[in-house]
Amino acid sequence: MFFSIATPEYLHIQPQCSRVKAALTSGLLEIYEGHQDLIGSIQNGFIELDILNNNEATQNCYLLQDGIFVVSNEGLENESTNEQCTSIYIYARKLLEISKLISLDELNKELELKKKELNFEIEKLKSTVDNENDIEISSSKIIILKNDISFLEKAILLTKEKVK
């Protein structure tokens, strides 16, 4: 299978993967060669990628924020057999590769900074909004900060679970 994952800052292509496990918005999904075509969305979901190279199995894990997930059996050909192969394309707003190189301290620091920034924005808006319930929907920056906080919290949990 062919696998491609991209964000505005990152591109990773893996031409030979054996299995992809994805936590889509609609549920958990495992994909093998010949899977039916589909499209789905990912919000703070993970992707696990199994790779077989020279009889050695490795696994990569990614956490994605606001992504589109596409599986297609059209377009690319397998280099060794010249037959159509299953291709998986993912585009996300933000991506974090879960590995032993990730520092939980750095993630926690970034989370605390985002929380402080969110509290500052809320306090700033309280003086301009009549009803405090309107604060939630009155600022796109607050919505983005809440999404970032949710992503970082999920990243911390997933890192603790996957990297032991």
Q: What does the chain come to in residues?
A: 164
Cβ atoms of residues 52 and 18 within 8 Å: yes
Q: What is the DSSP string of the chain?
A: -EEEEE-SS-EEEES-EEEEEEEETTEEEEE-TTPPPEEEEESSEEEEEEEEETTEEEEEEEEEEEEEEEEESSS-B-TTT-SB--EEEEEEEEEEEESTT--HHHHHHHHHHHHHHHHHHHHHHHTT-SSGGGHHHH-HHHHHHHHHHHHHHHHHHHHHHH--
pLDDT, tens digit (0-9, with 9 covering 90-100), for 8-21: 999 988 888 888 99
**pLDDT tier for residue 53 given thresholds of 50, 70 and 90:** confident
The reported pLDDT for the residue numbered 33 is: 86
